[in-house]
Amino acid sequence: MLQEVMVDSTRARVGAVIEWIIAAAGFLAVVGLGSLALQLRTVDAVTPVIVEEKPAVDAPASVASKAVSVPMLVLSSGARLHVGDRLASASSTLKTSWQVGVDAIDRGPKGDRITRSYVDGATPFQLVLESVEPGTDPQIAAIYLR
């Protein structure tokens, strides 16, 4: 009789340990699957940024004080804008729906300097456009990220 009680209690302890092992394995499986599911969602950089040490031009008054001058901007469509690009070629990559507000115009020695504000998705940026020589097609003189 004593031997039967010992066998039953040993069997009960072993059964409890096995239940705990199964529960722990199930928990780890759920955590592992959840981790896998979260890793399947990839996040791309919103805007790759290359910051210059000094701005290409003096910032117009309409540019935000904490804006950062960059030599290149990658748009959500994958197209790139570079300082020095002509406005005519950049216009094909910029959507009119991205433009925000009105142009800010400053008078300069080479003609008008235009500052346009855009929002591409969640990326607000400003382009400073000016002519290299009077009477020529404007080009991107600076790109500012806000």
Residue found under tokens 């855009």: 118
Average pLDDT over residues 48-71: 67
Is the pTM value of this prediction over 0.75?
Answer: no
* Mean pLDDT over each residue of the chain, to the nearest integer: 77
Which pLDDT score is estimated for 90?
Answer: 82
State yes or no: pLDDT of 6 exceeds 90: no
Is 104 a residue whose pLDDT tops 70?
yes
pLDDT of residue 31: 87
DSSP E strands, the chain: 68-70, 72-74, 80-82, 99-108, 111-120, 123-130, 139-145
CB 138 within 8 A of CB 87: yes
Residue 137 gets the label, from left (phi > 0), alpha (psi -120 to 50) or beta, of beta
Q: What is the 3-state secondary structure (H, E, C) of 93-116?
A: CCCHHHEEEEEEEEEECCEEEEEE
Q: How confident is the model at residue 55 (pLDDT cuts 50, 70, 90)?
A: very low
> What does the pLDDT look like over 123-143, one tens digit per residue?
888 888 888 777 778 888 888
- How far, in whole angstroms, is CA 64 from its chain's centroid? 19
Report the pLDDT value the prediction gives residue 23, as an integer from 0 to 100. Answer: 92
